[in-house]
Structure 1
Amino acid sequence: MSAVWKYYLLDSPQSDTAKCNVCKAVVPRGGRSVATYNTTNLIKHLQKHHPKEHDEFLATKGLKAQTSRQESLLQSFERQGKLSPDNVKAKEITEKVLNFIVLDDQPLSVVENEGFRSLIEYLQPRYSLPSRRYLSETALPELYNQVSTKLADKLKAVPNLSFTTDIWTSDVCPMSLISLTAHWIDRDTYGLCCAVLQVKKCRGSHNRATIAASITEMLNHWGISLAKVHVIIRDNASNMKAAMQDMSVSNLGCFAHSLQLVVNEGLISQRSVSDALANSRKIVAHFKHSQLAQSRLEDLQREMQGAGTTTSPSRLVQDVQTRWNSSFYMIKSILKEKRALCAYAADHNLPATLSANDWALLEKTAAVLEPFEELTRKISSATSSAAEVIPAVTILQRLLTENTSTDSGIKTMKSTLLQAVNRRFSDIESQPLYAVATLVDARYKDRRGKALLIQELEKVEQTLTDEAGTTVAEPAKKIACMEAGPSTGVPPGSTKSSFSSLYDKILEEHDEPAGGTQAVVTQMQMFLKEPTIGEADSPFQYWANHHARFPLLAAVATKFLSAPATSVESERLFSTASNIVDEKRNRLTAERAEMLIFLKKNLLMFK
């Protein structure tokens, strides 16, 4: 008997209609006699007027709505069979699995994990996961070669490259790696590009000869001549400096490293400040090492936040001796929880206490270090360039020179910071890389580098003349007649930080350029007379919009603005390395580690 009769009643077995139990409607049974009666009309009535009961009817009968035709025997066989390794779909899945391993720092052995295998089996039952050995020895090298070839082709069209380099030593295995990261500006889009070229095993002592030989070998591997090297940004270690001298390449120290040395000198110069920092460090360590103390502090924080507050209590930040900005963050976290810490000290013991004078010193120290912290974040960004160094140093000097009412108690520290800035960056304006980069950056256009820029522009002009066989003076005359484009400026209603608010004054304090050839001077005078763009605006976008008006300047800009101010990109690279070469993969070879790091940083560039 059909399950549909659960929803209908018959007056008699011979009745040609049935009454719906839900809506009491009378529904014809179809047919002309008892022998030809059927349930089609009854089921359609449920489907049209009573979807819920219709679904129950289907579930009772174990039926499913079918929207497609029945599979053929061949289709059924293909659905049940496994995909061959050469199947297009299987290759695509294998590629996605390898991308997952590379981009998410997963071990190659993840394909042997039960949970991952179960997931893949559920998503695609017909797919067979490749072995770890296949991924390591076949799939990974193939993908590495594909990306390497594409990157090599892209670099051939770049006339000048800037580089950053650094050395990393693993904590979990005897492996040292030296990196070489390339930076350039795309001539079509004027976008800033960055790619890891190589992460080579550095054997033996890290002396000048070893470093120079390693970097030279990496450049030769990519077919990059020394004439194509604009600059190499390295750390301030003596072995790095000596290696660059041996290679006879233009090189500069990492601005962030130099800035860190400046701040470290200032923090240890005044005994009262260093003592307050030491006591703060002990207090934070106390809560880091004691769960009971941390719980008590959190209770006090919640009590002071008041009832109904849903935000979690903030935790104190522990500083790291090798990173000065971590000391700044520790001071800020201590000051933020001042009330809770004082309340805790009233009832519980602490390894150190902060007096009223200590609290005042910490507040003043944080105020002095805040511009340094802002600058460190600014120059460590992926879009930072060497053009930001001279303006940054100028601002720091001016801020540290100003006398304020809050200097009491930290005058020695502030004076030491100023002396350190003057000493470490005394020759910064005479460095062609910094001076010219600042001058072609539409945010700053510092005219103090005018003589160096004229020399560089004349070189570019001569190069263009030699290559094209024609002079560029006539196009320059036409450019001189063009109207200056509108300045981007600062968006209405925007505000500037304490660090950046002095830029506008400094940019107005320099003379107009003079000398040079007609094409050079024409373009440079037009460029310098235009208003600067906003500090938050992109100099790369400026040249994308104006390169046709200033072709000589644009050529110089693509060369000099490609150089970063710091070697942070190489340092970030080794944060990736520490995630790849970890406790679970401490037997990974340097060759495999290089492939994984290379693909992690470059794969998405060609997707």
Structure 2
Amino acid sequence: MSICLESDSEIQKFNNNNSIDNDNMNISQIDSGQAKQDDVDYDDNINVQELAASEEANNTIDVYVCNTSSTSEMLQMLPSGSTSTAVTMGSLPSASRPSSSTTTSKTAKSKKKASKLDNYIDTISVKEEDSITQAIAEFFFACNIPFNVIESKYFDNLIKKLRPAYAKRKPGRKTLSSTLLDSVYNNLITETKFGIDQETVVLIDGWKNTSSNSKIITCTLQTVGGQRAFLNAWDLTGEAETAQKLVHIINEAIDLAKRTYHSQIYAIISDNASAMVRMGKDMNHCLWHSTCNSHTANLLAKDVQDKECTNSVTTVLKEFKQADNERAITEKGGTKIKLPCETRWCSYQKSYKCLLDNLRIMRVIAAETDSTCKRIKSKVVSLLFDEDFIDKVRNQLSLYEPICQLINNCQSQDASIADAVHFWLELTLPDNFKDKYSAALAARKKIALNVYALTAYYLHPVYENKKLNSEHLREIHAFLFKILSAQGCEEWDNYDRNVGIFPQIKEKNITKPLLFWRMAEMENKELPQVALKLLKMPASSGEIERVFSNWGYIHSSIRNRLGFEKSKKLVYIYYTLKIKDNCQNYDWDESEVETTLEGED
């Protein structure tokens, strides 16, 4: 229905039939002679909702109060077939027209009422519901919250406070652990695939999960300066991790990287387990293989370990690890006790340092003669006051420190195999240990300084090749001569003689290796591609150790009913969301994890 009043005669006629004053407008017998009469109050700003509720859906009365000067303009604004009553305020007689101040006041009053009403009504669209559900699922998975929490009455109360309309629509435990888990998992794979380099390196390592009594092989993708991604994990519980089995896993990883991330694997980084080393040799025809430098350095730390001294340090620390003794240390300004752990890198160094840092306080506690508090064993007391033992601890710590520094440097996200060579060449042992452990150091260096690492070092624009000996150079030259074409060898000669574009790049003082070789690509095609691949190979497989730490945190003894596939998806989500949040500081104490497979050399 549409009644538009513009001329004075129309308004007067309307007023004669419908009593209109400043406070009320009564409209009667409108639209096909209906006898129904509704009161429309200006104070309610013509409550359309009440009018609509009183009429049939196809006979709704909408009343607009406006200042339009043209009835034709108003009619054009109405949709075809619609009905409306428009009362033009500018055309009403002065006696029948509310004052502008009255209208403004009552409009504001109406808005205040509408605002109050909105405070008590919450509605939610399907799109909003899906968005909230997705956010809740990511929150649960990223924070490792048990699935049953979503059905807790306290979580219900939280949702009711935050978004009442969503309270009865939130998912249950089963939906969260199945449909939503799969949805978030697949979405993250889709998001991650666009950040992975077209050519990448696979990191492979094994782990024993004591919580689930399972043995797992895991692969991740990583390049220096590139994106990281969890690729896949294989459950080898009850199976032997042979070289043949590992070759099969690597072939699956190559295919999976192509299908999932559209990326070609060209190199492998593994630990030094004998099966891993044999696998690397078997795959040498198509992939470059380098071992984890942090792992190699950790083996060196074990080579130089004084077991007798370590056992004595452990005996002292265990005595003071008892609750009352440790509390006494911290109350006197000391630090908490750090016991050595066989499967933690650098844990022996930290335990030695812990003993020396707390030595003065330990001696004070040990010397106490309170008969009611005889806490320290006589063997421990004698060790604390044995200067020869303390000197041995100090010497052993000085031996560990440079090795642990190498371990930590190689675990950096930006450390390449070229950087690892630099760290190994710079590594020196204290003078009083050089003769004793020179053979052990040489053996571990030989493992670390493989031909791929040496060539990467050789092609690094900053490191001086003078530190390479003649044997190293022969290996490098043989490798480059084998893989380069005639054009590539010409580019290699230009780099070696520092001619062509290379002196121009060095004049720019470009020291970042990846940038250096990208600039070199302007005139060279083959050698820069080889250099970029080598310089993108990570120095260690430490990233997988973080995955294992996360896995132990997620699939803990509290959640030991999780199946392998479900826990794998949870680990993928947890790890990937950490990367998205640029969370570089992983808590290595979240879970007790083993870092190597059986058969480690």
- Give the TM-score band, short-chain normalised: 0.5 to 0.7
Q: Tell me whether 1:344 sits opposite 2:365 in the alignment.
A: yes
Give the gaps of 5 or more residues in structure 1. 1-64, 186-190, 269-273, 303-312, 466-470, 477-514
Distance 1:227 1:462 in 2: 25
Q: Tell me whether 1:196 sits opposite 2:241 in the alignment.
A: no
| Structure 2 counterpart of 1:90, one-letter code | E
State the match for 1:526 in structure 2. Answer: 503
Distance 2:387 2:281 in 1: 52
What does residue range 60-459 of structure 1 map to in structure 2 within 5 Å?
69-71=112-114, 79-81=121-123, 83=124, 87-127=126-166, 128-155=169-196, 158=198, 160-184=199-223, 191-208=225-242, 209-223=244-258, 228-248=264-284, 249-268=287-306, 274-289=307-322, 291-299=323-331, 301-302=332-333, 313-323=334-344, 325-347=346-368, 349-350=376-377, 351-352=379-380, 353-354=383-384, 355-396=386-427, 399-400=428-429, 403=431, 407=432, 411=433, 414-426=434-446, 428-429=448-449, 431-446=450-465, 448=468
Distance 1:101 1:262 in 2: 41
What does residue range 549-560 of structure 1 map to in structure 2 within 5 Å?
554-560=528-534
1:377 and 1:442, CA in 2 relative to 1: closer, same or farther beyond 3 A? same
Contact 2:456–2:535 (Cα < 8 Å) also in 1: yes
Give the gaps of 5 or more residues in structure 2. 1-107, 369-373, 582-601
SS in 2 for 1:179: strand
Distance 1:67 1:419 in 2: 90
Q: Which moved more, 1:381-390 or 1:197-206?
A: 197-206
Distance 1:130 1:226 in 2: 34
User: How many aligned positions are there?
Assistant: 454
SS in 1 for 2:310: helix
Distance 1:119 1:542 in 2: 54
Q: Provide Cα deviations, 1:152-194, integer angstroms capped at 9, x if missing partner.
A: 4554x61x32111112222122433221111135xxxxx3321
Contact 1:443–1:532 (Cα < 8 Å) also in 2: no
Q: Which of 572, 575, 584 in structure 2 is aligned with 1:601? A: 575
- How far apart are 1:210 and its partner, in Å? 2.7
Identity of aligned residues (%): 22
- How far apart are 1:523 and its partner, in Å? 5.4
SS in 2 for 1:169: strand
Distance 2:318 2:419 in 1: 37
Distance 2:218 2:499 in 1: 42
Give the alignment's TM-score, normalised by structure 1: 0.66
Distance 2:367 2:436 in 1: 36
Contact 2:505–2:516 (Cα < 8 Å) also in 1: no
Contact 1:280–1:331 (Cα < 8 Å) also in 2: yes
Distance 2:137 2:339 in 1: 37
Q: Provide Cα deviations, 1:370-404, integer angstroms capped at 9, x if missing partner.
A: 111211111112222111222222122xx23x63x
| Structure 1 counterpart of 2:227, one-letter code | C
Q: Identify which of structures 1 and 2 has the higher relative contact order when contacts are C-alpha pairs closer than 8 Å and 6+ apart.
A: 1
SS in 1 for 2:324: helix
Distance 1:231 1:560 in 2: 9
- How far apart are 1:261 and its partner, in Å? 1.6
Distance 2:164 2:530 in 1: 57
| Structure 2 counterpart of 1:124, one-letter code | R
Q: Provide Cα deviations, 1:436-491, integer angstroms capped at 9, x if missing partner.
A: 2213334425364667767777899859x8xxxxx999xx8xxxxxxxxxxxxxxx
State the match for 2:94 in structure 1. Answer: none
Distance 2:277 2:447 in 1: 17
Distance 2:145 2:459 in 1: 43
1:460 and 1:601, CA in 2 relative to 1: closer, same or farther beyond 3 A? farther
Contact 1:103–1:600 (Cα < 8 Å) also in 2: yes
SS in 2 for 1:315: coil
SS in 1 for 2:543: helix
SS in 2 for 1:244: helix
Contact 2:501–2:520 (Cα < 8 Å) also in 1: no
State the match for 1:468 in structure 2. Answer: none
- How far apart are 1:586 and its partner, in Å? 1.3
Contact 1:457–1:520 (Cα < 8 Å) also in 2: no
1:166 and 1:113, CA in 2 relative to 1: closer, same or farther beyond 3 A? farther
Q: Which moved more, 1:438-447 or 1:112-121?
A: 438-447
Contact 2:297–2:406 (Cα < 8 Å) also in 1: no
| Structure 2 counterpart of 1:325, one-letter code | C
Distance 1:315 1:90 in 2: 48
Distance 2:295 2:139 in 1: 34
| Structure 1 counterpart of 2:236, one-letter code | C
